[in-house]
Amino acid sequence: MSESLLSFSEVLLFGRELSDLKLKQKSVRLAVEIPAAGSLPTGFTTIDGVTVRLDDRVLVQKGDTANTESGIYKVVDDGAGAFNLDKRKKAQYQSYVYVRRGRQFKHTFWLQDSNTHNRQLFIEQDDRRRGRGVNNFIGDQFGGDARLARIYGFAYDGTYYELPEPTIFLVHGHGESATGGNLPRGFNLENTGGPDTTRQTARAPLDPSVSGVAAADYQMANDIRVWNYDQADYTIRMDIAAGQIEEVLLDVYFEYDAPMMSGAKVSGAKVSGAKVSGAKVSGAKVSGAKVSGAKVSGAKARGE
């Protein structure tokens, strides 16, 4: 990533992929529709305008009814320099399949709408709302290479900001290593016998395209990765609170002076009749909130 006039809109998320909480999803590289009277393609090298590769997954829908030939197939070598489809797999009823590539079906979702044993019916879903960011569709967020990551900080407009506590974000792809693959200082990539004194990648990255800053007074831990987004992109943020049920649930809803709400920032929330619903609690400022019949302790209220 190189800097440009639009770099100010880039947001770099720094964190690690969650290994104990993964998205269950099904995706294929390509999709193809064949007539009801047709047969599975054989001896091909391209599908939907894209050159196929060995072991690609391909969604096949035959005709417009449920049948025993529609499904998800694996691309295998036909022994003559081309490919065939083999090893059909079924998708669960009412589950979605995401298509990553293709001239016609790129970034499309297909609903498996048959609950009959061994019969599959995939219906393309073409009524998803288009988003503003580079992710293209809001519905694409869980497609393809989507995953969850614990984010510790972010870089924006040339400054690195550390989050008060790690937060889970929906990200896409494996991200880039924020420490150059955990290489030590002076590590010689070319192995020519001498140290490479221009590299210091193990802790504070020197490349602004990776770190998003011109200088850093912090140290990056091993295995931290960075995901590059535009500020208009869509994502999902998940805040997690751990503790006793009384602390993380009851006190938040029924106690105004509870530990989790003292000095809190309530943004865009409706506080009515001593009950806080749909509020994000962190900070000491109440902005854009409707406060009715409630006691707000040590808070500044605006937009009432």
pTM strictly above 0.75: no
What per-residue confidence (pLDDT) applies to 22?
A: 65
At which residue do the structure tokens 């290479």 appear? Answer: 145
Contact 300, 286 (CB under 8 A): yes
Task: Count CB atoms within 10 A of the CB of residue 56.
Answer: 19
What per-residue confidence (pLDDT) applies to 51?
A: 94
**Residue 79: both structure tokens together:** 């022994």
Looking at residue 119, its amino acid is R
Which residue ranges make up each domain of the chain? 7-21+146-237, 27-136, 245-302
At which residue do the structure tokens 């805040």 appear? Answer: 239
Residue stretches of the chain with pLDDT short of 50: 1-2, 5-6, 131-136, 197-199, 201-202, 258-304
Instruction: Measure the N-to-C terminal CA separation of the chain; round to a whole number of Å.
Output: 44
CA distances from 68 to 71, 88, 145, 156, 244 (A): 8, 10, 29, 52, 51
The strands making up 290-292's β-sheet, listed across from edge to edge, are 275-277, 270-272, 290-292
